Amino acid sequence: MNNISQNTSTRLASHLSISPSHHNAVREWLTSSFPLVQLNVAFMDEITVPKVESALNPVTALAFLALSTSKPYLLAGEGQFLKVFDYKRGTFIRTEQIFDSQAIYGIVCRSLPEDAGHNGTCLIWGGRSICLISIEADLNINGKPLVKVHQHMPEVLWDDWILDACFRHPNITDSGSGKNTVEAILVTAHNDLLCLKFVEKSAETRETRSLYRIASGPNSILYSAHMLLADAGPRLLVAAGTVFGEVLLWSFTSDPSVSREIKLHYRFTGHEGSVFGFRISEVAQTGAVKRILASCSDDRTIKTWDISDTSSSEKVKPLSDGGLNNSEAGLLDETNEVDSTGCLAMIMGHASRIWGLRFLIQKDGCWDLISYGEDSTAQIWRTTHSSHSGKNVWAMAVFRESGIECIVATGGADGCITAYKPLLHGMPTRTGAWTSQYTMDEVSKTFQTTSSEPSPTQAGKAKSITETFFDSLKGSWKLTRNLDSLIRYFLQPKFIVTSSCFLDTEDWIILGSRNGDIAIYDLTHTTPNSAVDVTPDCFQRIHGEDAITLIQIVPRDVSKLTGRIAILTAGQDGKWAIHHVFHKLQDSKLCVTLQTIHVGMPPFGPNIEGACVDPTSKDLLLWGFRSKQFIVWNESQKTEVMTVDCGGAHRNYAYAHRNDGSGGGNFVYTKASICHVLSQTQASHQVIQHGGHGREIKAMALSPAIKTGDDVDLRFVATGAEDTAIRIFDLNARLKCLSIVTKHTTGIQQLRWSSNGQLLFSAAGCEEFLVWRLQSAPFVTFGIVCEAQCPTVTEEVDLRIMNFATEEIHSTHDPDDVPYEPDYLLSKVYSDSSIRLFRYHTGRESFELLTEGSYTTYCLTQAAYLHIGETLNGLCTASTDGHPALWPHANPLSWHSEDLPRSPPLHWSTRTGIHQSSVKALDSVTISESETLIVTGGDDGAVAFTRVGIHSPSEVVFEAASLLIPGAHASAVFIGKPTSDRQGENPEGFILANVGNERSGSTRRKWERRVSQSVGWRMFTPPSQTPVP
């Protein structure tokens, strides 16, 4: 249900690059007997694949590729695209489309000679698709990596899903002809082994590719499988996990001397749920256990199994009779008792399902194991790294940098890729890893100083000559200035100062109180050695009713963009905010005004203890505590920089940021009467690509172009997801996330922008409806604050606003009222079949309920305004019953007048049962002076066009006629977007881009991709028009 708001439709199409070459792609024309006006529909033969400019997909595969130019490159599979990153520099290099529409689920890489060549070969798979590519890497003149991707074998489809793959050792496949032969083995979801052979064109041979089945393992449906070439030879070990939780270990040997042999070595039944991931370890040189198998499962456990002995086995029948069927035990054990035979160890650390695991290093018979899962963490035994949003880490890659050091990269459903070096077994604690701990003795030798600000509740340091103190004499607080020339300012009653700041340029003192108020004292006209009762300018409830813990001036070089004085505050409500502070003439008196322009909430708290701006990167850093951890958070990049298990907030501590852009810092704290110093030279993990929600995106809207001072117009994408957050992305900066705003408590249903791009409307369950205002702000490109919340009108706890339509109301405004902003007419449709029209008074920041109505008992799903010509004549809704309904308004002229009268209840006039079930998409386009066309898409896979005209202009009586195309898509149609084909007032035709097929996870690109998969419809009117050849 990702509808793009109406006012952005045309721009969206241009973004997707639907080219005019479509004119030539029209196959056939037909004249219809459409009742009102002849309407032609053409089926478009070819569909141009729109170019995807930016995409942020779940990261579903990761692999390191070591080549001479970079050690290593990081390859990420995101949707059908392969992205190449330079790991060391943390930079994006290029993206390559691998599959037509299938997402990439696995990548294996090989480079020859090991780590030192210019060329790598990668086998990529996902679903039934397989692709073989070569990556050639070089450095350009500036020493920057240059990567070429060549597809040896473009996408091939096998009959079954591919679960794992590995390359054959070169010494087996190479017949002396050189490195141009690639042989790989793949395992499918039905436990079949496939062989892929590729021989590059050479002087003697022509290029050949082949893919064929070589063996069948025990017949079962698998959730997961893993393969390993054992004994550096012809034997392949296969670990397979069935949907019923069994673990099978079997081997396949194809040695010309031994002949083909399939053996089943182990069958473990210890898991209580499906097994999602496996790894087979390397052989240990010492210890009793030589080789282990690790598996992770639906039952939230990781189990390790002793598979040292792979010589004994059940002999299995050869391939010829259709696979081995000795597993035809068929009957499950009636008792279904879990058999833990062979299980070495069991660990439970994840909060939900575990998708996969990797062995890191093996030393002295000990293995370090890392696992990742649905709870969006990667865990090394009990060490947890959580750097993803939402749910699910889907992909992981491990690179062994040296004998005992590894780099672990993880990719999540949020599209984020991070990398870090874990602290492993047997590793000296002070080298290699990025974080170190020291005792006090070592500190004195290692560090010069670590700076620490005094706590702001005691004193706020501003100028060397000015110090402010707070005194609590006789129960009231006083403020004094300058020790040698005391001026005393009386505080407001009950104003308990919790934070302060001195603005030397303006001579202002800004104080924050325990109950969330801010007071600004103008010190300009004060004389020394006096007690003055200056009335401060007070601003209440800046951080709710919680104490303001921090007030800081935004450095001039950061706030210069806006040219205004900005302060930053943080409170015990867990939020931080940016405010503009300026003089304003009010009642012919100059007073100071504070305007909040941005409120953010970092993922820790509620106590935000400190903040600073890194002078190098200009990033805003916030720090505080989250349960037992100390967290340093980079708000500008939305990443966690430092995480320390210090025991919680109740201790002495100090944090000093390194201020060199590296993300490192020094943290000193006491724990159990011991002083600890933690020094980080860089962030705890490197963010290679920033992510998104990590949960299902339920609504999105593309903003209009927003003017900034610079030449470049800003364009935002707002998304709302199941995680109840709204994220604002910069469309022009590879979808960088600018803001995460959280105020909704339920999943977002719909988002729409105002036409000037300054307001964003959002609707969700529990009748939540919010208005957000965007404006220029430091640190975050654009600040966003919740300007108003629509009060609920019913007592129903579970009433969802399913959709809404917005329309500007222009009143005859006072020319002095600058800047002028229109009001908005908001028509909301609800899950209990009700409909309500509100007016949002922009100036007053308040809502007014104008009228309401009720449809049936069906859940309404869609709402759009109906314009006939220039006039707004009513509303069109659709619901789960498949009926579009038209709601004329009695007095359409009144919509544009100054004061909307409270109208009589709304009633629908026309209702047609077009779709069989829920209408998932609805949009309208004006096709002539007297007619509007409504396009609907349904859960039934049908697309319908409904023409709406007005019977008589004096009273609004709609007449409508519909054309239905059943089976336009194989499944639900989610977006039907008519986009203007030509410039001008009355376009003679338009292209309808339909989005059908499946609904998928958090892919922002989903509708983009599906435009290519869908059927395109082209409509022309009037019919006398000669069709484009």
Partner 1 sequence: MGKSSKDKRDAYYRLAKEQGWRARSAFKLIQLDEQFDLFSGVTRVVDLCAAPGSWSQVLSRVLIKGESFGRRAWDEKQKREGEALPGGVEEKEGDGHRDGEEEKQVKLGELRPRKDVKIVAVDLQPMASLEGITSLKGDITTPSTVTRILQALDPDTYVNDAEDSGSHPVDLVLSDGAPDVTGLHDLDIYIQSQLLYSALNLALRILKPGGKFVAKVFRGKDVDLIYAQLRCFFTSVHCAKPRSSRASSLEAFVVCEGFNIPKGYKVDPKRPVGLGAQVPVPKKKQKDIQSFDGGGQRRTVREDGVSVLDLESDEEEDKNRWIAPFVACGDLSAWDADATYHLPKDRVSLDPVQPPTAPPYKRALELRRQQGGLYGKTSK
Separation of alpha carbons 984 and 986, rounded Å: 6
Phi-psi region of 939 (alpha: psi -120 to 50; beta: other; left: phi over 0): alpha
Looking at residues 142 to 161 of the shown chain, list those that interact with partner 1 (rule: CB under 8 A).
158-161
Report the nearest approach of partner 1 to the CB of residue 895 (Å).
28
Q: What is the dihedral angle through the alpha carbons of 124, 129, 130, 133, rounded to the nearest 10 degrees?
A: -60
Sign of CA dihedral 746, 747, 749, 753: positive
Sign of CA dihedral 829, 832, 833, 838: negative
Q: Which of 30, 590, 674, 893 binds partner 1 (CB under 8 A)?
A: 30
Q: What three-state secondary structure class fits 444?
A: helix
Q: Which of 698, 828, 836, 889 binds partner 1 (CB under 8 A)?
A: 698
Report the nearest approach of partner 1 to the CB of residue 164 (Å).
14
Does 657 interact with partner 1 (rule: CB under 8 A)? no
Does 98 interact with partner 1 (rule: CB under 8 A)? no
Phi-psi region of 135 (alpha: psi -120 to 50; beta: other; left: phi over 0): beta
Looking at residues 863 to 882 of the shown chain, list those that interact with partner 1 (rule: CB under 8 A).
880-882
Q: Which of 96, 375, 923, 931 binds partner 1 (CB under 8 A)?
A: 375
Looking at residues 289 to 308 of the shown chain, list those that interact with partner 1 (rule: CB under 8 A).
297-301
Opening angle at CA 1011, ends 944 and 391, nearest 5: 110
Q: Which of 514, 800, 836, 977 binds partner 1 (CB under 8 A)?
A: 800
**Structure token pair of residue 218:** 């025990």
Report the nearest approach of partner 1 to the CB of residue 831 (Å).
4
- Count, residues near partner 1 per rule CB under 8 A: 116
By CB under 8 A, which span of 402-410, 586-594, 750-758, 793-801 interacts with partner 1?
793-801
Q: Which of 332, 366, 440, 849 binds partner 1 (CB under 8 A)?
A: 332
Does 11 interact with partner 1 (rule: CB under 8 A)? no
Does 1029 interact with partner 1 (rule: CB under 8 A)? no
Does 671 interact with partner 1 (rule: CB under 8 A)? no
Q: Which of 20, 35, 426, 528 binds partner 1 (CB under 8 A)?
A: 35
Q: Which single residue is written with the structure tokens 């208005």? A: 771
**Structure token pair of residue 727:** 């994220």
Looking at residues 925 to 964 of the shown chain, list those that interact with partner 1 (rule: CB under 8 A).
939-942, 944, 961-964
Does 25 interact with partner 1 (rule: CB under 8 A)? no
Given a contact cutoff of 8 angstroms between Cβ atoms, the answer to whether 228 and 240 are in contact is: no
| CB closer to partner 1 out of 97 and 1000 | 1000
How is the beta sheet containing 1016-1020 ordered, strand by strand? 40-43, 1016-1020, 989-995, 975-980
Report the nearest approach of partner 1 to the CB of residue 223 (Å).
8
Report the nearest approach of partner 1 to the CB of residue 962 (Å).
5
Q: Which of 86, 96, 192, 374 binds partner 1 (CB under 8 A)?
A: 374
Report the nearest approach of partner 1 to the CB of residue 914 (Å).
6
Report the nearest approach of partner 1 to the CB of residue 628 (Å).
14
Looking at residues 703 to 732 of the shown chain, list those that interact with partner 1 (rule: CB under 8 A).
722-725
Q: Which of 50, 120, 765, 978 binds partner 1 (CB under 8 A)?
A: 765
Does 391 interact with partner 1 (rule: CB under 8 A)? yes
By CB under 8 A, which span of 14-22, 266-274, 571-579, 836-844 interacts with partner 1?
266-274
Does 745 interact with partner 1 (rule: CB under 8 A)? yes
Does 561 interact with partner 1 (rule: CB under 8 A)? no
By CB under 8 A, which span of 207-215, 272-280, 457-465, 511-519 interacts with partner 1?
272-280
Report the nearest approach of partner 1 to the CB of residue 940 (Å).
4
Q: Which single residue is written with the structure tokens 């709304």? A: 906
By CB under 8 A, which span of 64-72, 166-174, 524-532, 692-700 interacts with partner 1?
692-700
Look at residues 585, 592, 567 and name the one whose alpha carbon lies nearest to residue 577: 567
Looking at residues 401 to 460 of the shown chain, list those that interact with partner 1 (rule: CB under 8 A).
413
Report the nearest approach of partner 1 to the CB of residue 748 (Å).
9
Kindly provide the residue ranges of all beta strands, DSSP E only, lying in 330-392, ordered along the sequence. 343-347, 354-363, 366-373, 378-380, 383-385
Q: Cβ contacts of residue 54 below 8 Å, gap of 6+?
A: 731, 734, 735, 1005
Q: Cβ contacts of residue 400 below 8 Å, gap of 6+?
A: 361, 406
Separation of alpha carbons 969 and 1015, rounded Å: 8
Phi-psi region of 809 (alpha: psi -120 to 50; beta: other; left: phi over 0): beta
Given a contact cutoff of 8 angstroms between Cβ atoms, the answer to whether 468 and 497 are in contact is: no
Does 213 interact with partner 1 (rule: CB under 8 A)? no
Q: Which of 970, 982, 1022, 1025 binds partner 1 (CB under 8 A)?
A: 970
| CB closer to partner 1 out of 41 and 380 | 41
| CB closer to partner 1 out of 386 and 450 | 386
Does 243 interact with partner 1 (rule: CB under 8 A)? yes
Does 997 interact with partner 1 (rule: CB under 8 A)? yes
Q: Which of 394, 477, 633, 782 binds partner 1 (CB under 8 A)?
A: 394
Q: Which of 348, 465, 532, 591 binds partner 1 (CB under 8 A)?
A: 348
| CB closer to partner 1 out of 263 and 300 | 300
The rounded Cα 141 to chain-centroid distance in angstroms is: 35
Separation of alpha carbons 896 and 915, rounded Å: 33
Q: Cβ contacts of residue 579 below 8 Å, gap of 6+?
A: 542, 566, 567, 568, 569, 594, 595, 596, 597
Given a contact cutoff of 8 angstroms between Cβ atoms, the answer to whether 728 and 739 are in contact is: yes
| CB closer to partner 1 out of 111 and 910 | 910
**Run of H or E including 122:** strand 119-126
Given a contact cutoff of 8 angstroms between Cβ atoms, the answer to whether 796 and 855 are in contact is: no
Separation of alpha carbons 417 and 412, rounded Å: 7
Q: Which of 352, 485, 492, 854 binds partner 1 (CB under 8 A)?
A: 352
